[in-house]
Every structure is written in C-alpha cells, then in structure tokens.
Amino acid sequence: MSESKSLSKAARVEFILHKLQSLYPNPPIPLHHKDAYTLLIAVLLSAQCTDERVNTVTPALFALADNPFDMAKVPVEKIQEIIRPCGLSPQKSKAISVLSQMLVDEHQGQVPADWDALERLPGVGHKTASVVMSQAFDVPAFAVDTHIHRLAQRWGLTNGKNVVQTEKDLKRLFPQDTWNALHLQIIYYGREFCSARGCDGTVCEICRTCYPTRKKPKIVLKP
C-alpha cells in the first residue's frame, strides 16, 4: 500500500490535534522572559541557537538591562560579550542595541503589538514577530521554523519548499484558535518524539499513525 492510501489529510489533522492536545494541554513558552520586551530579545537570540543556551545567557543580559531604556545605553561591545555563546553575536548585539533605541524613540519604550512595526525592527523577521504577537499579545499567528517545517512535511501537511509556504498550509489546515498553542505543541513533540535524528518519518507515533504503510524514511525538503 502506498502513502497515498494512508490516512486522509483531514484525518491526519484531526489525529495530530488530538494527540498534541493530550500530550501538551498547556504548553509553556520555552524561552524565559517576564514581558514582551524580554521575550522579543530572547527570540532574537534564539536564531540558530538552542532555547536552552539562550536561557543560560539571558539572566546576565537582563540583569544588566531588562528594558529598552536601559539596554539602549549599554555599549554594543558589552552586549556582544554577554551573548557570545548564542552565536552571531556581532549582528545580534547590534540589533538589540538599535531596536531598543527604536522602541524608545518611536514607541515610548513599549514593544508594539503591530506586525509592520515589529518587522521593521532590526533582527526581527516574520518568525520572531509571529512568536511575539502570539505569545506576548495573544494574536493568532503560526511561527514556523525549520523544525516545524520538517515535522509538517513528515506528517503530510505541506510539500512547501520553504517556511513561508509551510506557514500558509498549516494556517489553512488548522483552526485559527489552535495556532498559538499548536506552534509550541509541535516544537515540544518534535524535541521529545520526532527529532531530526530520532525519527525519520517512520518511528514516532504520529508518523506511524498518519502513514502506517510508510517503509522508507521521509525525505524532507530543507527550507
């Protein structure tokens, strides 16, 4: 039996929703933060870096400055020294400094709950803006990173060659009121059961249920 004769896409969506909700009914945000600003900085730092490492770096950074008014006064070199373990420290330190000054100058020191304003900030792309809008302001959004992109392909939810198309496909398949939690639920499931090395599309429960006749590893298109 071929993959095409496995569960229908609607059945896969229903099973995935039910399974993830049962496993992670109230998924916490993995990046430690106390408000929209510290979340924004943590998400920016998480680019090409693990959440665990970010969480070891941000306490020292936020002890130095945990708001844009104070951060804008910190020399870029000092920021870079602290965040170096996160990688890309020259770019990230400059972005943190400049965006903090922009928040002071243009938004009274507040992180704006506005897509365009967020994405204008240096170092803040669509994915980072999506996380902030969903987790800080409870605006429906579906932040798609490379991990979610990988799982969505394994589960037959998209054949998109990039995260932009994957985001569109996931938003079309899942109810809007599930997006914010689902983003986190997929991340947690991927780490625990369907990691890049721990599952090839034939091992974890969701992969096996959605494609019970799949015999070969699922080749994932990298974004």
Which sequence positions are flagged as catalytic? Answer: 127, 145
Of the candidates 107, 185, 103, 195, which has an alpha carbon nearest to the alpha carbon of residue 143?
185
- CA of 137: how far to CAs of 36, 115, 132, 156, in Å? 8, 11, 7, 30
Evaluated on CA atoms 204, 207, 213, 214, the torsion sign reads negative
For residues 46 and 26, give the distance between their C-alpha atoms in angstroms, rounded to a whole number.
Answer: 22
